[in-house]
Amino acid sequence: MISVALEQKELEQQALVQILFEQQFQHSAELVCHAPGRVNIIGDHTDYNDGFVLPAAINYGTTIAASVRDDKIIKVYAHDCDQQTNEFSLTEIVFDQQMMWSNYVRGTLQALLKKHPEINGANLVVTGNVPQGAGLSSSASFEIAILKTFTQLYQLELNGINAALIGQQAENDFVGCNCGIMDQLISAMGQQGHAMLLDCKDLSFEDAPIPDDLTLFIVNSNVKRGLVDSAYNLRRQQCEAVAKYFGVSALRDVTMAQLNAAEKEIEPELFKRARHVVSENTRAVNTLKALKANDMATISAEMKASHISLRDDFEVTTKEMDGLVEMIDSVLGTKGGVRMTGGGFGGCVVALVPNNLVTEVTDIVNRKYEQEFGLTASIYHCTASQGAFR
Ligand code: GLA
């Protein structure tokens, strides 16, 4: 179990990157930047449908130490990767088939250059503690950390919303994942102690405090995710096909009544995909209201319905995630909420757990998960932290 205060973990990362930077480049870093990962409390697979999401930035993230260069070269040392050093020129950015992690740097800078062609190169050292491939947005936190770093190094006029759009562009156009805007936006604009209801249609948002008596409890099923990008991109295409049928640009603009009335005209699988999206939007908005009113019974019901919808209609959960949700739900009942979080196909479940039930929930996961699934779960007690551009 990992449960360390935000400040302490961030300070440790900051100290580490500075030491590593001196070792790599034989001079001190000019600055250190940090961007958080995120957990999504509710509203999954809605962002690329122009819908609603309710994420929070978390106290796990990516930290970068950097200095400017007077040429166009990027030299980057990634402390947590097997092949750690990568070098390329801003004048010729191509996809790196060998060092996949470097494509987040390459893609982000390629997208940034479209707005800011004036930037020069940099020496960079990167370290992160967001578990990779777990649905907690290690890649978005990497992209936003890069953008914050260049914003500071070259005094760019870049706000958090534009940074998020650039990060998303890197994923869509360079890395090859057709993700929505949620992960980058919350990493840039999250507010400490708060969750954010984001309207992905116009990028307006509202912060809502997470009550002090609740723990953001995250459990990684540690199921290795396979073929994630292609399955994710397929879900997106399916949603777009239904939106097209209704003659709208995104499913956000389809109501449940319209969808139900057209059921016989739509392929059953596509109908289920759309039913998830339309119902999930309502659940995200209801959960924000319930959070503000401290109405845990409603939060609990909405999170439960969300998981079932992602399991049965959107079909992105795994048996391990379903099992974890069931175990945790058996302790929480209506006193807390639990569901899968993120893109799915493995990764994490998120629970809002009253502080006085944290031990009991931890115990049941430790006792039952390995026994039933032969895997060890990792548990993170998170706090909602501040976005890099807020
Ligand atoms: C991934 C994507 C996000 C979002 C979620 C599902 O995290 O990066 O844009 O679509 O999946 O909600």
pLDDT in tens, 171-187: 999 999 999 999 999 99
In ligand 1, the atom with minimum distance to the C-alpha of 44 is 12
Cα of 196 from ligand 1 centre, angstroms: 15
- Residue 2 is predicted with a pLDDT of 37
Give dist(CA 97, CA 160) in Å, integer: 30
> What SS3 state is found at 145?
helix
Any domain includes 387: no
User: To which residue do tokens 């102690």 refer?
Assistant: 193
What is the Rg, in whole angstroms, of the alpha carbon atoms belonging to the chain? Answer: 21
DSSP conformation class of 384: B
For residue 311, what are the contacts with CB-CB under 8 A and spacing of at least 6? 317, 322, 340
Q: Two tokens at 123?
A: 């020496």
Given 182, 207, 232, which residue is the final one in a domain?
207
Give dist(CA 325, CA 319) in Å, integer: 10
Task: State whether 337 and 199 are in the same domain.
Answer: no
List residues with catalytic annotation: 183
Task: State whether 161 and 17 are in the same domain.
Answer: yes
Q: How confident is the model at residue 4 (pLDDT cuts 50, 70, 90)?
A: very low
pLDDT in tens, 100-148: 999 999 999 999 999 999 999 999 999 999 998 899 999 999 999 999 9
Task: State whether 35 and 150 are in the same domain.
Answer: yes
Task: State whether 180 and 217 are in the same domain.
Answer: no
**Strand-pair category, 122-128 with 73-78:** parallel
Q: How confident is the model at residue 11 (pLDDT cuts 50, 70, 90)?
A: confident
Question: What CATH number does residue 170 fall under?
Answer: 3.30.230.10
How far lies 293's CA from each of 53, 191, 211, 289, 299, in Å?
18, 19, 10, 6, 10
Any domain includes 146: yes
**DSSP for 96-127, written as a single string:** -SS-TTHHHHHHHHHHHHHH-TT---EEEEEE
Task: State whether 115 and 140 are in the same domain.
Answer: yes
- Residue 7 is predicted with a pLDDT of 63
Is the separation of the CB atoms in 27 and 65 below 8 Å? no
Q: Output the residue whose Cα is nearest ligand 1's atom 12.
A: 44
Beta bridge partners of 85: 77
Question: Which residues does a 6 A CB cutoff place in the pocket of ligand 1?
Answer: 40, 44-45, 47-48, 179-180, 182-183, 342-343
In whole numbers, what is the pLDDT of the chain averaged over residues?
96
Task: State whether 183 and 235 are in the same domain.
Answer: no
Any domain includes 1: no
Any domain includes 111: yes
Any domain includes 218: yes
Q: How many domains does the structure of the chain reveal?
A: 2
Is the separation of the CB atoms in 119 and 112 below 8 Å? yes
Task: State whether 203 and 223 are in the same domain.
Answer: no
Task: State whether 172 and 194 are in the same domain.
Answer: yes
179, 184, 187, 200, best to mutate for ligand 1 pocket (most atoms within 8 Å of CB):
179
Task: State whether 149 and 236 are in the same domain.
Answer: no
45, 238, 240, best to mutate for ligand 1 pocket (most atoms within 8 Å of CB):
45
Question: What CATH number does residue 272 fall under?
Answer: 3.30.70.890
Region at 175 (left for phi over 0; alpha for psi -120 to 50; beta for the rest):
alpha
Give dist(CA 232, CA 104) in Å, integer: 18
Q: What is the mean pLDDT of residues 194-199?
A: 98
For residue 280, what are the contacts with CB-CB under 8 A and spacing of at least 6? 42, 43, 44, 45, 46, 51, 306, 309, 310
User: To which residue do tokens 């949603």 refer?
Assistant: 239
For residue 371, what are the contacts with CB-CB under 8 A and spacing of at least 6? none
Give dist(CA 207, CA 332) in Å, integer: 25
42, 47, 341, best to mutate for ligand 1 pocket (most atoms within 8 Å of CB):
47
Q: Output the residue whose Cα is nearest ligand 1's atom 1.
A: 343
Q: Output the residue whose Cα is nearest ligand 1's atom 11.
A: 343
Q: What is the mean pLDDT of residues 250-254?
A: 98
Any domain includes 365: yes
Any domain includes 176: yes
Any domain includes 388: no
Q: Quick check: 3 pLDDT over 90?
A: no
Give dist(CA 132, CA 81) in Å, integer: 11
In ligand 1, the atom with minimum distance to the C-alpha of 179 is 9
Q: What is the mean pLDDT of residues 360-370?
A: 98
For residue 346, what are the contacts with CB-CB under 8 A and spacing of at least 6? 133, 135, 221, 223, 224, 225, 226, 228, 318, 320, 321
Given 169, 184, 207, which residue is the final one in a domain?
207
Angle between helix axes 102-115 and 138-153 (nearest 10 degrees) is 50
pLDDT in tens, 224-247: 776 578 899 999 999 999 999 999
Range of the domain at 277: 211-382
In ligand 1, the atom with minimum distance to the C-alpha of 139 is 8
Task: State whether 235 and 367 are in the same domain.
Answer: yes
pLDDT in tens, 48-74: 999 999 999 999 999 999 999 999 999
- Residue 1 is predicted with a pLDDT of 33
Task: State whether 266 and 150 are in the same domain.
Answer: no
Cα of 188 from ligand 1 centre, angstroms: 15
Task: State whether 184 and 333 are in the same domain.
Answer: no
| Strand order across the beta sheet in which 214-220 lies | 337-340, 348-354, 214-220, 378-382
Q: Quick check: 255 pLDDT over 50?
A: yes
Is the separation of the CB atoms in 153 and 120 below 8 Å? no
